[in-house]
Every structure is written in C-alpha cells, then in structure tokens.
Structure 1
C-alpha cells in the first residue's frame, strides 16, 4: 500500500510526488503520458528559485512584453531587473516527472478510472496504457492533479464540475528570423475582440520555436480560425506548424479542494490558474507543494481535517493577487473599448514596474504606496472614460 497515489504527472502532480518522496513517503505517480498541454510556457524567476529549476530548462529569457490593443496600438514594457523564462511543456513536464521518479516515486502510465474503497482505504483503479487492463493502486490518500475537468475531482469533490473555464488553443511553429513584427526576446499579448472576445491572444518565443494561441470562455468562438487570424496579423502565417494543442483552463480556485476523508486536489484540478493572465505553471507547482504538505500532515496526525491545509496555505499566500487579477479581468476584458483603455493604462511607468515586480516575485508590491495611489486614480479615470483611450 502506498502512502499517496498522485493522479496526474504535470507540474503540480510531479511536484507533489517529489516533495512527498523526499519527506520519506511511498508514492505512486500515475500519468496518461503523451499529452501536451497548450501553454505559453512562461515561468518567473521565483519558480526557478523555489523549485530548484536550472537555467538549462529555459529555451529563452524574455526581456520585453508588448501589449497590443484592438486598434493595433503597441506598448512595449521592459522587464527591469529580471526576465520571463520560457519553457516548452513537451520537455518541461517529462523533466519534472523524471526528477520525481529519480527521487523515489514509482511511475505508472495509464488513465484514471475510479476510486474504490473495499476495505475503507482508497484503491485507485486505472487502465494500463500498454495492456488496456484495469489495475489497482491501493493507498492511504489520493492527490488529484489531473487537470481541468479533473476526473478525480468530479468523482470525489463537491463543486469540481462548476469551475469556470477558458478554452485555450495554440500552435507551436518554427520561429522566424527577427523582424519588425517578431522579436525572439519579446512576448506579445494581443487584446483584440477579433481574436478573443473575452480573453487574449499571444505570441511567445521558445527559442527555435514559437507558441501562437488564444483563449476564450465562449464556446461559440472558433479557436483554430482565431489563431489563424492571429498568425496572419503577426506575420507568422507562412511559418511551419509543428504542433497543435488545445485544452480547457480553469480561472477560479475552487471553494473546497478535498473530500473530507482521503482525496485532495492540486493545480488545474483545484482551479489555481491566475485570472486575467492565465498563468498556471508556477501556481500549479505551488498547488502540488501545498497538497503534499497537507497529505504529510494528515498521514502524521491521522486527522483528515488536515487535508484542508492545502487550500488554506495556498490562499494565505495568493488570495489577494488572485482577487486583484480577477477584478482586472472583469473590468477590462468585457469590450474592445475597455481593452483599449487597459493598453493605454499600460503606458504608465508605475503600472509597468509594479506589474513585473509582482510577476517575478509573486507578491503585490507594497514598498511604494504613492505609486499604488497614482495607479488607483489612473485606473478609475480610464474605467470611467475621464481619460481618452489614446491618451499616453
């Protein structure tokens, strides 16, 4: 019997498995293998520090972010005193899984089917990838890190089927040479209702390749057609297409992450993707870490209420940031006029500096209260229309 079975081998599940193994627990890591999540691949320096990720995992370091408005206005934001690291999930996820296995986790490939409890303790039933036969993994606790629309969550945790989702799609293309419109050291974020009526499109460099994609909550949006239009608008329509990937992404942490007895959720399964930005890798890995902490506490104490530590620890650190980002998305993503005003606001040097300080450090910056006050006043002026959208 394993102490914990981790279902899902993405950044969240692999992190949870490694943490638990290193704290002396017996762990089974179950993953479907072969699935690559559509993802811009951006990771902040804090992730690399907190989770001991070496620079050899980076495809490139982005030093500028370009915001593009519905009318085509461009605001280039330099990333001062830092960078945005870029990874490709087809390589990054296997690296994390292999690291967990090297630490001592036992790895199984297959698809989660259900959890049985013939004698009280959970038994994870999965379909083996090679034989297609059902197999068993008996354990004391289960971590569901199997992504948005988590099968573990929907079977075990109340509310898991009600998380709002953005449907994301991207194409990995062969990167072109640097041009006036494409910079291999710059992330482009496109706020244009013609590309996405309620989210955004992106062009993110990955060294020799580039991720071009978009997302939307609206099921009526044709993601492939929108991405094709984005490639044309970005001058990337003639580049060779290497991969196409799509998947739902949750944009709100669930109110409850555990079932009150033997299951706790982590990462996308718990809804921990940042609103507004859609950033997920860092928060997924934090989600895996707090799920591992909650399981270790439960195994040590025998108290199932300790599973609640996962959500409690995560929200203590990141609740305010998530609320601010959700408010920004609700305020600015609802129309092209609002998106135009948002890009206009990004001209402000205080907005630029505080945004990327918060991104790199994963904390709201409190050191400059006057800057926050100025931003608050300017934000209100843009939302109420007191400032014209083309004001710089």
Structure 2
C-alpha cells in the first residue's frame, strides 16, 4: 500500500513525488518515458531559489526581452537586477525525476489507464512500458499531474474534462553559429502578430547551443507548422538544423475545483495553472506540485478528505491576483492586431518595464510603488480607449 501515487513525471509530478518522499511517505510516480513538452523553457530566479536548481541546468541566462508588434515595432526591455534562466525540458524534467528517485520515490515507466476502488482501498492501473501488461498499485491518495488534458482530471474531478487550452507548437533548432542579424543568444523575442498567432504569440527563445521557436493558438484551423516556418523565416532561422518538433495543449484557466473530495487532487497543467497572457508554466507547475503534496500530507495525517482542498487554497492565496491581472491583460490586448500594436507601444514605458519584470522575478504584484501603479493604470486605459496615438512604422 502506497501513501500516494503521482500520475505524471513532469515538473509538477516530480516535485510532488520528491516532497512527499522527503517527508517520509511511501510514494511512486508513473511517467511516460520519452515525452518532451513544447516549452520556451524560461524560469525565474525565484524558481531557482525555491526549488534549489543547480547552475548546471541553466543553459542560458537572458538579460533582455524584445517585444515585436504586428508592424515590426521592437521594444527591448532590459532585465535589471536579475536574469531569466533558460532550461531544456528534455534534460530539466529528467533531472527532476532523478531527484525524486534519489529522495526515495519509486519511478514507474508506463501509461496511466484508470482508477478503481474496493473494500481494500484505491487502485491505480497502468500499462507497463517494458512488458505491455496492465498492472495496479494500491494507494491511499492519487495526485493527477498528467497535463492539460488530464485523464485523471477528466475521470475524477468535476470540470476536469472542460478545461480550456491553446495548442502550442515549437521546433528546437541548432542556434545559429556566428553573428546573425535579429538573433541574440542573450535575448528572448516575443512576437505579437496575428499573422503568426491570431490570439496568442510567437517566440524565439535561446537555449545556449539550441533555440526554441514556436507559437500557440486556440483558433481551429491554424497551421501551426506553417506559422512557425514563417516565424523562422522572419527571424532568419530557416537554415538552422531542426533537432525536434513538439506540440501539446497549454491550459488557459485554473479549474474551480482541484480534488474529488475523496482521494484525488490535481496539480500543474492538470489543474490549469499556467499564467494567462505569458503562458508561463514551469514555475507554477512546480508550485502546484508542492501544494498538492502539502494537501496530500495533511489529508494522510488527519484522515480528512477535505484537506485536499488545501492545494487550491494555498496556490490561490499567493497567485490569484497575478493570474487575474494577466488574464485581464490577455483579454484586453490579444483580441486584434490593433490592440497588440497598442500593447507593444505601452511596453515602451519604463514603469511598465520595471514593474513587469519585478513581478516576474518575484512572482507577486509589486506594491512598493503605488504612484507607478497609478500611472500605469492611466496609461493602460489611454491605450485601450485609443486616446494615445500609436505611430505606425
């Protein structure tokens, strides 16, 4: 009998498994080997601090973010007093899984197939990768950390089958050798252009010897590969060798309920915790894994299934305001190229730049400069209402 079975071995599931194992619980995690999620790979310094990530996992340090508008307007935002770390998910996720094993979690390579219950408890079924046979594990609790279209969430948690998402696609390429106009190994480019993505954005993120080039959209019928090819051409990266191609859903909104009131709690993408507007997910996935582990440990200790609600409560207590602001920004500015043009124009403002990256670094809204917030609010309203004229280039 396990205390907890974690379904999923990405950043969220691996973090939950590690935390529970380190606190002395008998835990196993089921992971589908070989899956690499499409991801720009950006992580903030707070993640490095909170989750003790070694320098060896940081493949690049970004000191500038460039916003590019539909008309080609470019706004370079310096990252002051810090950096954005870049990781390669192929190696970063495996590092986290290995660390969970070292902490005492049992790693199982297979595919989750379902949950059954009887008089002896809860049983998690999975198809073993090595043999192809279906096996079961007895457990007291289950953490579903199996992605945006979570099978655990769909089967076990109300609303888990209706989570909205965008489809993200990217290509990992060899970084250009030598100097290439338009590409900087120390800069992330974010492209707000309806020709690339009608409702989200495209990106060019350096990964040291490699780079991630991709985009996301919720609009049916958009050819993601064609849009990414256009983005590579516009960035001068068409000739770079393609190493791998990946696509996957990215959730757009946290679920209203993360547990089934009995023996299952969700974490990470399965719970919908990806930041609106930016699509940032690694940090929030790992926090989601940590709060799910905390809730599971509380439930195991008290015997109260209601303690599983702690996962969502703890997460929202710290991050609800950030998600609310980012969601409002996405709804306001991602609706048309005219709005995207105004958004990039707004990014010229020094107050916007500073507060944006202070919030990114620390994962909290900055409250130290109320006058700056007031000025930003006024400027934001002026851009949205068209009171500010946007110069075309």
TM normalised by structure 2 equals: 0.99
Corresponding residue of 2:315: 314
Cα displacement (A) at 1:122: 1.0
CA RMSD, Structure 1 to Structure 2 (Å) = 0.9
Alignment of 1:363 with 2:358, yes or no, is: no
TM-superposition CA deviations, 1:255-297 (whole Å, max 9, x none): 0000000000000000000000000000000000000000000
Whether the 8 Å contact between 1:167 and 1:249 is mirrored in structure 2 is yes
Of 207-216 and 111-120, the range deviating more from structure 2: 111-120
Corresponding residue of 1:162: 162
TM-superposition CA deviations, 1:305-342 (whole Å, max 9, x none): 00000000000000000000000000000000000000
Whether the 8 Å contact between 1:178 and 1:184 is mirrored in structure 2 is no
Corresponding residue of 1:223: 224
User: Residues of 2 paired with 1:10 and 1:33: CA distance?
Assistant: 10
Whether the 8 Å contact between 1:197 and 1:335 is mirrored in structure 2 is yes
User: Residues of 2 paired with 1:389 and 1:55: CA distance?
Assistant: 42
Corresponding residue of 2:390: 389
TM normalised by structure 1 equals: 0.99
User: Residues of 2 paired with 1:246 and 1:178: CA distance?
Assistant: 29
Q: Which runs of 4+ in 1 moved over 4 A?
A: none
Q: Counterparts of 1:1-392 in structure 2 under 5 Å?
A: 1-119=1-119, 121-176=121-176, 177-390=178-391
Cα displacement (A) at 1:54: 1.1
Stretches of structure 2 lacking an aligned partner (at least 5 in a row): none
User: Residues of 2 paired with 1:123 and 1:242: CA distance?
Assistant: 39
Residue aligned with 1:137, SS: strand
Whether the 8 Å contact between 2:180 and 2:236 is mirrored in structure 1 is no
Cα displacement (A) at 1:363: 0.5
User: Residues of 2 paired with 1:256 and 1:188: CA distance?
Assistant: 35
User: Residues of 2 paired with 1:320 and 1:19: CA distance?
Assistant: 26
TM-superposition CA deviations, 1:131-169 (whole Å, max 9, x none): 110001110000000001000100100101111101000
Residue aligned with 1:311, SS: helix
Q: Aligned residues, how many? A: 392
User: Residues of 1 paired with 2:241 and 2:28: CA distance?
Assistant: 39
User: Residues of 2 paired with 1:121 and 1:260: CA distance?
Assistant: 15
Whether the 8 Å contact between 2:14 and 2:29 is mirrored in structure 1 is yes
User: Residues of 2 paired with 1:389 and 1:121: CA distance?
Assistant: 63
Cα displacement (A) at 1:120: 5.2
